[in-house]
Amino acid sequence: MGTCALRDVAQFPVSEGLPVSNSAESTPKRPLRVAIVGAGPAGVYAADILTKSNEVKGGDFEVSIDLFEAYPAPYGLIRYGVAPDHPRIKGIVNALHKVLDRGDIRFLGNVTYGRDLKLHDFRAFYDAVIFSTGAIKDADLNVPGVELEGSFGGADFVSWYDGHPDVPRDWPLDAKEIAVIGNGNVALDVARMLVKHADELLSTEIPDNVYRGLKNSPVTDVHVFGRRGPAQVKFTPLELRELSHANDVDIVLYPEDFEFDEASDDAIRSNNQIKTMVNTMTNWLVEEHAEAEVPSSRRLHLHFLHSPVEIYDGAGNTAGTGKVAGIKFERMQLDGTGHVKGTGEFIDYPVQAVYRAIGYHGSPLDELEYNAKAGVIPNEGGRVLDAEGNPVPGIYATGWIKRGPVGLIGHTKGDALETIGCLLEDRLTLPPAQNPDPHAIIALLEERGVEYTTWEGWNRLDAHEAALGKAWTEAEAETGVVRERIKVVPREEMIRISRSSEG
Ligand SMILES: Cc1cc2nc3c(=O)[nH]c(=O)nc-3n(C[C@H](O)[C@H](O)[C@H](O)COP(=O)(O)OP(=O)(O)OC[C@H]3O[C@@H](n4cnc5c(N)ncnc54)[C@H](O)[C@@H]3O)c2cc1C
Ligand SMILES: NC(=O)c1ccc[n+]([C@@H]2O[C@H](COP(=O)([O-])OP(=O)(O)OC[C@H]3O[C@@H](n4cnc5c(N)ncnc54)[C@H](OP(=O)(O)O)[C@@H]3O)[C@@H](O)[C@H]2O)c1
């Protein structure tokens, strides 16, 4: 068993037969039934690649795909992760929309694997199942005080500002000084959303409760802390430069943080992104110290070589029900390899809120093995493995749940190519569905009272959100702000609108 090379769908060899379940002479031919669980980019790309593969296009069998999603809406973290002020992502959404709009992939939203449907249900109705369930949780930060009031997971805040249906509508934005831990793109998203003036976000699709919450925020200073140096950041040049576009926000850097070891020099020489970012930050440092400008009302501080030690309340306690009043870091130094070691010097910052943005983490899936450390389903090239490390026939994984929570939307295409390559390689040995009739799964969902949503339903909700944006734009014409969409947040409302002319 190895990984499967389906680098280019056009190169994949043409099929010679049907699924084994169909190959008996007396059995009429039927499509290969595949369920994909998770309609984020990884799931949609997997569905698209499967339908377009030469095995399917040039072969003598068809595929029939059902794409299941726990939310009533598709697109995963594109809808509930990507920051609202990133409109350039729209191009990707349009491309994914076109895939699902073709009509050869059936979307079934508001259906949760493990709750509404179990593995044996999928086994009964499909020849193969692909899990593309991504990651939605924060990775754990193991420092004392992380449970205090005012200590937040970045992923939770992201879910709030993106109008996730299952998180509370109110977010406590009462801190003037805030620490954000982490040096990845999520840390920059979180910091930017915290420090930006709300009116700058009004033209995005942020829900009204989010606009109101941010509008009332008393924040003056957001401090972003990386534990390594400026040449070891995980964020990317575009996202870094974006920070300087926020109105009335000064970027503050600290000369003592600009430490570079041999590995940093190598990285700057060999990696254009790192070179660009180090140059950008060094320029900001010089500009900031060269001339005193009119100070802005808010500041975004970028700190490096700070490793979090503890978060504490007003009495200095790290346990109990107190509220965050400060955070302690150990100052780090580079060790020559791009990693860091402690200096024994500690620094305190008075802050009233701490956001940890130190990475996402996957969640276990019912009846499947789980690698809790990496937050992934154990797999080889997308073939899901059992406890003994053997492939589970007919079960696959793709996207962040296959590979871990790293990488951009586009990277999930590569995951899907490999996973679909394996599935097609295994095609003749897949355990056949007991009931491949596509209507059977719908009957089961209805029998269980699952209020599933459909692609037509999503188009209705999509149009409804666009209409809300248009109505707002017309009603508030004097502001000159155009809102293309206002997201519907409560799950029940999403379902009601999606299913409004159904049954
Ligand atoms: C905060 C944040 C911002 C980002 N911004 C960008 C950006 O601007 N540009 C960029 O290129 N990349 C960005 N990324 C990265 C990008 O979002 C990921 O690369 C991509 O979404 C991973 O795709 P996925 O399909 O594996 O997972 P996801 O997008 O998480 O999709 C998984 C889907 O599976 C569903 N699911 C989970 N469990 C179940 C279940 N039990 N039953 C049914 N369905 C289930 C989920 O509801 C979800 O819809 C960002 C990531 C984060 C965290
Ligand atoms: N606009 C965009 O394109 C966009 C936006 C958001 C996310 N994304 C992508 O989504 C993926 C996930 O992003 P992410 O920011 O969640 O993860 P990430 O890129 O892995 O960054 C995690 C950051 O947290 C730090 N960290 C980890 N453990 C820590 C600890 N115990 N203490 C202090 N710091 C710690 C890491 O430092 P070390 O490096 O020292 O480990 C790193 O700086 C990335 O690939 C990202 O590019 C893209």
| One-letter-per-residue 3-state SS of 191-219 | HHHHHCCHHHHCCCCCCHHHHHHHHCCCC
- Which ligand 1 atom lies nearest to the CA of residue 401? 26
- Which ligand 2 atom lies nearest to the CA of residue 86? 1
Atom 31 of ligand 2, residue of closest alpha carbon: 141
Ligand 2 centroid from CA 272, angstroms: 19
- C-beta separation of 30 from 60 below 8 A: no
Q: Which two tokens stand for residue 266?
A: 């190598």
Atom 20 of ligand 2, residue of closest alpha carbon: 359
Q: Which residues pair with 153 in a beta bridge?
A: 356
What is the SS3 assignment for 283?
helix
Q: To test the ligand 2 pocket, which listed residue (185, 333, 409) has its Cβ within 8 A of the most ligand atoms?
A: 185
Q: Is 315 exposed, middle or buried (0-12, 13-18, 19+ CB in 10 A)?
A: exposed
Ligand 1 centroid from CA 44, angstroms: 11
Ligand 2 centroid from CA 182, angstroms: 6
Ligand 2 centroid from CA 53, angstroms: 34
What is the SS3 assignment for 503?
coil
Q: To test the ligand 2 pocket, which listed residue (90, 92, 138, 227) has its Cβ within 8 A of the most ligand atoms?
A: 227
Ligand 1 centroid from CA 41, angstroms: 7
Q: To test the ligand 2 pocket, which listed residue (85, 146, 234, 355) has its Cβ within 8 A of the most ligand atoms?
A: 234
DSSP string of 122-164, one letter each residue: HHHH-SEEEE-----EEPP--STTTTSBTEEEHHHHHHHHTT-
271/418 Cα distance (integer angstroms): 27
- C-beta separation of 228 from 259 below 8 A: no
The structure's pTM equals: 0.94
Best CA proximity match to 137, nearest among 322, 469, 360, 347: 360
Residues in the chain with pLDDT values less than 50: 7-26, 503
Ligand 1 centroid from CA 401, angstroms: 10
Atom 51 of ligand 1, residue of closest alpha carbon: 81
Q: What's the Rg (C-alpha) of the chain?
A: 25
73/453 Cα distance (integer angstroms): 8
- The answer for residues whose C-beta is within 8 angstroms of residue 418's C-beta and 6 or more apart is 3, 4, 5, 6, 381, 382, 398
Q: What is 9-136+362-452's CATH superfamily?
A: NAD(P)-binding Rossmann-like Domain (3.40.50.720)
Q: Which residues pair with 109 in a beta bridge?
A: 453
Q: Where are the beta strands (DSSP E) in 276-387?
A: 298-303, 306-313, 324-334, 340-349, 353-356, 360-361, 379-380, 383-385
Ligand 2 centroid from CA 7, angstroms: 28
Nearest 10 degrees: CA dihedral of 404, 264, 259, 144?
20
Q: Where are the domains of the chain?
A: 9-136+362-452, 137-360, 457-499
Ligand 1 centroid from CA 489, angstroms: 18
- Which ligand 1 atom lies nearest to the CA of residue 366? 41
CATH number 3.40.50.300 given to 137-360: no
- C-beta separation of 190 from 165 below 8 A: no
Query: Which residues are near ligand 2 (CB < 6 Å)?
Result: 141, 181-187, 189, 226-228, 232, 234, 239, 308, 357-360, 405-408
- Spell out the alpha helix ranges (H) of 357-490: 400-403, 411-425, 438-447, 455-475
* Confidence at residue 15, expressed as pLDDT on a 0 to 100 scale: 30
Q: Which ligand does the CA of 134 lie closest to? A: 1
Q: Is 286 exposed, middle or buried (0-12, 13-18, 19+ CB in 10 A)?
A: exposed
* Confidence at residue 30, expressed as pLDDT on a 0 to 100 scale: 84
Give residue-wise pLDDT tens across range 59-109.
777 999 999 999 999 999 999 999 999 877 888 999 999 999 999 999 999
174/224 Cα distance (integer angstroms): 18
